[in-house]
Amino acid sequence: MPDDPTGPFADLAIVNCTALLGVTADRTTFAPGTTLEITGGRLTRIDPNPAQAPRAREVIDAQGMVAMPGLINTHCHAAMTFLRGAAEDVAVARWFNDYIWPMEVNVGERDVYLGTLVAIAEMIECGVTTFADHYFFMDQAAQAVADTGIRANLGSAFFSSQGPVGLAESVAFAERWQGKVDGRITTSIAPHAPYTVTDDDLRGAADAARRLGVKVHLHASEDLAQAKASVSSRGLTPIQVLHETGVLDAGTIIAHGNGIFDSDIPLLAATRDRVGVTHGPKGYFKFALGPLTPIASLRAAGVPVGYCTDGAASNNTLDILESMRITALSQKQVRDDATWFKSAMALEMAGPESAAVLGMRGQIGELTVGAKADVILVDVDGFHCQPLHDLAAALVYSIQPTDVRTTIVDGRVLMRDRQLLTINREALLDEFRQRAREITDRTHGRSIQDYTN
């Protein structure tokens, strides 16, 4: 097809872009003047030396732009946009017990739809094309994904305090939505955490995940204090609990891993083809949760680590570029080595490594023929990026969210030159702001759960 002038038309062609065609921990490959063709939601042609104009129904001229794989947010609670800024400058236990869990008593189905829409709008605006979500009323989140055109891995969260219905509904949700909306939705089984879910329910989650061919997505070893509390109360680290209950074996998305011990690494390494860790440093800094996730040890063991934002209630933003930047900066400090965590490694984590955390390596997070057509166009022509001595460094350390000009998911343009095409901004924000005022009411004195580790 590439060079056949009588061949079929592509759905969409992007011409004149500088394409990020490959990335490893040490090296990025950028190809200027590249043409990308997209058909049926997939990249069908990548030509760094196009001899002729593309044959496509729509052509985007990306002169001066970098084409990158769409960004991946490997762990968030999308609808928590409602609680952005509602619990600032407090430690974790108080954040949960005094603010978030009492406020979440007020969150209803419609709220999850609205809050997820706002999250999706923010994510499309900063180049996120896939997100993994872990929350409640997830049929509403799925509807928001269906309506907006983004890609997501969705898990219906549960506590064992809900009784057997929690796990059952999480499994039913995963079964109901797996592969739906043109394959843009995949699912996970989503126990909240080992400290709020019983071992029996973790075993049930693992069994269901294996049966459905999906992952278990949960919080575990979020910080050192939590991990030590587990050791002290039951003689096992949270990672050991995941091992013993079969969760690691089933395949797992682990948020957040700041409390992973060296002794946990072999267990994770043994399941590295199906277990990944998701890293969102902004929230860890805000909560003063040192030390940070041992990314060097995890990478050395072949365990994929991806970026996340967590929810906006802790992270304030859903900006994966910011997660990448803070990770790169802080990991140099953690290792006491300015030469480690090169820009290439930061971009590798944003692309194929984040894809691997979701079990989607080869499908998203890279620009290769046959991969999903999730592409963003980034303007690197701003004063803050010039001159371009090092394009990879510009992407990691200089670009701003608004430099993402165009966001494409599954071959469909969801944002064109900063204009959202699938979301009605004003109508959404009007209803969202009204509900945000009501959701923060805590006079009812109730809470959805108690945080004690």
- Contacts with its own copies, residue ranges (CB under 8 A): 81-86, 88-92, 118, 121-122, 125-126, 282, 284-288, 290, 316-319, 326, 329-330, 332-333, 335-343, 382-390, 393-394, 397-398, 400-402, 425, 429, 432-433, 436-437, 440
Q: DSSP for 103-172?
A: HHTT--HHHHHHHHHHHHHHHHHTTEEEEEEEESSHHHHHHHHHHH--EEEEEEEE-GGG-HHHHHHHHH
Closer to its own copies at the Cβ: 14 or 318? 318
Cα–Cα distance measured from residue 288 to residue 285, given in angstroms and rounded to the nearest whole number: 5
CA quadruple 337, 342, 343, 349: dihedral positive or negative?
Answer: negative
Closer to its own copies at the Cβ: 46 or 436? 436
- Least distance from its own copies to the Cβ atom of residue 51, Å: 28
- Least distance from its own copies to the Cβ atom of residue 94, Å: 9
Closer to its own copies at the Cβ: 192 or 342? 342
Per the listing, tokens 């460094």 go with 393
- Least distance from its own copies to the Cβ atom of residue 315, Å: 8
How, if at all, do strands 65-69 and 71-76 pair? unpaired
Per the listing, tokens 């809050």 go with 115
Q: Radius of gyration of the chain from Cα atoms? A: 21
Instruction: Work out the angle between the directed axes of helices 164-177 and 138-148 (0-180°, nearest 10).
Output: 20
- Least distance from its own copies to the Cβ atom of residue 96, Å: 12
- Least distance from its own copies to the Cβ atom of residue 284, Å: 8
- Least distance from its own copies to the Cβ atom of residue 405, Å: 12
* Whether 184 contacts 151, CB under 8 Å: yes
- Least distance from its own copies to the Cβ atom of residue 426, Å: 10
> Taking the mean position of all CA atoms in its chain, how far away is CA 116?
14
- Least distance from its own copies to the Cβ atom of residue 54, Å: 28
- Least distance from its own copies to the Cβ atom of residue 189, Å: 30
DSSP 70: P
Closer to its own copies at the Cβ: 101 or 397? 397
Per the listing, tokens 């978030």 go with 100
Closer to its own copies at the Cβ: 4 or 430? 430
Closer to its own copies at the Cβ: 99 or 195? 99
Closer to its own copies at the Cβ: 55 or 282? 282
Cα–Cα distance measured from residue 65 to residue 19, given in angstroms and rounded to the nearest whole number: 9
Cα–Cα distance measured from residue 1 to residue 87, given in angstroms and rounded to the nearest whole number: 55
Closer to its own copies at the Cβ: 44 or 327? 327
Closer to its own copies at the Cβ: 235 or 387? 387
Cα–Cα distance measured from residue 131 to residue 74, given in angstroms and rounded to the nearest whole number: 6
How big, in percent rounded to 5, are the helix, strand and coil portions of the chain?
A: 40, 25, 35
* Whether 19 contacts 65, CB under 8 Å: no
